[in-house]
Amino acid sequence: MLLIAAPGQGAQAPGFLAPWLELPRFADRLAAWSPLAGCDLIRYGTVAGAEEIRDTAIAQPLLVAAGLAAAEALLGSLGQAARLAAAAAGHSVGELAAGPIAGVITPEDALRLVSVRGRAMASAAAAEPTGMTAVLGGAESAVLASIEAHGLTPANVNGAGQIVAAGTLAELAAFAASPPAGARLHKLSVAGAFHTRHMAPAAQALRAAAAGVPTSDPALTLLSDRDGAVVRSGADWLERIITQVSAPVRWDMCMQTMAGLGVTAIIELPPAGTLTGLARRALPGVQLLALKTPADLAAARDIIAEHADSHADSHAPEWRLLVAPLAGTFRAAADSSPAATAGTPVRTGSELGRVEMRGGSHPVTPSFPATIIEWLVEDGDPVSAGQPLVRLQPDGSE
């Protein structure tokens, strides 16, 4: 079973698209998408310096355009994806490349949305001094406890011993002064605390931009960063893309789902290397290829030919998890105590509870009609960002 993966922000490097422009129609594609992206994709992908492409408003559309154009070069067209591959997934902004590969939205709508997303996240980052720090090693439970104790959010739980803490610069400084035992900290060169409450204004801007965007149900198995679930509807995918801006990325759960699905090969789109590196440690035995330049296309097509016959997703989990959007205290809704609601149907948008934190609270609501299978927390429990709260059975998936 072949999965195509799209990397997230931070994977870009100066000039990474230069060799791709030698392919027929590649430059024409980027030129046509540049007005939608709000930037000159060819210049930023070839001659711009590291500081320029570190800008969130530039990096995000550049990554999505690169992934989509390379996928077209690999597959012939995105319409061939469902025939040649079995699954797709993207890390953070890479989800906006995975969506068109799965046929959920058009590449053009993806570029429009990522342009808004990048600018809005850059604006939210500029509102307050925030940042991110990679935590490498250490016991996961101890690392997560230390992150929460310092008021930070585990913005990326990437698996393979890598968690990214995010929050204010003051919180990160205190965290660095007292790191978790056995862990190494690496300050990331990013504009702000992505995938945390600090990005809430950006999520609102993206929601406004997404209104009216047409969607189709995925034509292949499509994974979600929220909880590693297989997304069954286009509307659910779009809602997840919006809320993911201010919620943690659970790539560890995506890789767990890949293992459960029986993924046998992963091709990572350019600028490739990050996700195949994580998979090398977390998914031993899976064939991996980082598609860095056109010179890798022949090897990638060999992998497609070898794995194209395995498309079944019969092992895909039909249930979904709702996870805590932020760290805080879980409070069940007045009519939704865990003991009373197992087996109860719930509507799209129903408030099942709230996560209370300093300065406010955040509702826990499903973006699809479902039936509650089981609660994983109780009223009053402390929860960390990204922690599973309740398991649901979506309607029509029995």
Whether 336 is in a domain gets the answer yes
Residues 107 and 229 both lie in one domain: yes
Q: Is 311 a catalytic site residue? A: no
Q: Is 307 a catalytic site residue? A: no
pLDDT at 203: 94
Q: Rounded distance, CA 393 to CA 299, Å?
A: 40
What would the DSSP string read from start to end of 334-374?
A: TT--HHHHTT-EE-TT---EEEEETTEEEEE--SS-EEEEE
221-223: strand order across its sheet: 230-231, 221-223, 87-90, 2-6, 265-268, 287-290
Q: Which of 255, 272, 307 is the last residue of a domain?
A: 307
Asked if pLDDT for residue 318 goes beyond 80, the answer is no
Q: For residue 376, give the nearest of 387, 362, 365 by alpha carbon.
A: 387
Residues 83 and 218 both lie in one domain: yes
More confident: 312 or 162: 162
Q: Considering only 107-116, 302-311, 372-381, which range has the smallest mean pLDDT?
A: 302-311
Does residue 271 have a cis peptide bond before it, meaning omega lies within 30 degrees of 0?
A: yes
Whether 314 is in a domain gets the answer no
Residues 345 and 365 both lie in one domain: yes
pTM: 0.80
Q: What is the CATH number of the domain that holds 250?
A: 3.40.366.10
Helix-helix angle 297-307:56-75, to 10 degrees: 60
pLDDT at 363: 82
Cα 337 to Cα 316, 354, 356, 380: the distances in Å are: 29, 12, 16, 11
Domain that holds residue 160: 128-192
pLDDT at 333: 81
Q: Considering only 171-175, 195-199, 375-379, which range has the smallest mean pLDDT?
A: 375-379
Q: Three-state SS for 125?
A: helix
Residues 119 and 202 both lie in one domain: yes
Q: How many domains is the chain built from?
A: 3
Residues 275 and 227 both lie in one domain: yes
pLDDT at 314: 43
Asked if pLDDT for residue 231 goes beyond 50, the answer is yes
Asked if pLDDT for residue 315 goes beyond 50, the answer is no
Q: Rounded distance, CA 231 to CA 220, Å?
A: 10
Residues 22 and 156 both lie in one domain: no
One-letter identity of residue 59: A
Asked if pLDDT for residue 254 goes beyond 90, the answer is yes
Residues 180 and 280 both lie in one domain: no
Catalytic member of 34, 92, 246, 336: 92
pLDDT tens-digit readout, 332-364: 886 555 544 678 888 877 888 888 877 677 788
pLDDT tens-digit readout, 75-115: 999 999 988 999 999 999 999 999 999 999 999 999 999 99
Whether 315 is in a domain gets the answer no
Token pair 């993207």 in the structure block, residue: 90
Q: Rounded distance, CA 356 to CA 137, Å?
A: 30
Q: What is the CATH number of the domain that holds 163?
A: 3.30.70.250
Catalytic member of 91, 150, 195, 307: 195
pLDDT tens-digit readout, 321-333: 787 767 789 998 8
Q: For residue 274, give the nearest of 122, 128, 110, 134 by alpha carbon.
A: 134
Cβ-based neighbours of 208, under 8 Å, separated by 6 or more: none
Q: What is the CATH number of the domain that holds 358?
A: 2.40.50.100
Q: For residue 192, give the nearest of 119, 130, 127, 244 by alpha carbon.
A: 130
Q: Which of 145, 161, 192 is the last residue of a domain?
A: 192
Q: Considering only 45-54, 334-343, 361-370, 371-380, which range has the smallest mean pLDDT?
A: 334-343
